Structure 1
């Protein structure tokens, strides 16, 4: 099981357990985590699941695809060095824990 910690832009924290194969976005939606909209349902077409991954976790993630990189250029709040789309981060054996912060705006 992957432990995901979501911190809002104003410091509120929610911690949940992600099922294997579940994305960080799906876990947030399933648990009502504020700050992640996931308007497109995770098909990489809206960028409303933008998160800033904790720098300690960022390098452990698989490289982003060109499409994810392009989508991050269209987020409501400017991307940061450790920005990712949470629909593209999947829980699994290699990801035991992840910490993300949600931006102030998604739309």
Structure 2
């Protein structure tokens, strides 16, 4: 399980990333959110739903802390999480977030 210092650091990284990724004028049309639970962080894109004041969610990536390193997962066509083989597990969360952002394999940002 992640310690409280690491959790706060990752929350700070994610809050900064989200703030930079989605320009203010677009935040009524798209937003990025994340959810942290134990050793997991799920990055989600949200867009307005048909019902007023509701948002549709699409999971982008899953980061999982295991054996002292982060692993990255992506959803497949059946909505199951699968480890991303082209991104090596790494203890540096920010390095993996950067690789997800670049998305060289076209797995995350469709």
Q: Choose 1 or 2 for highest CA Rg.
A: 2
Q: Select the structure that is richer in helix.
A: 2
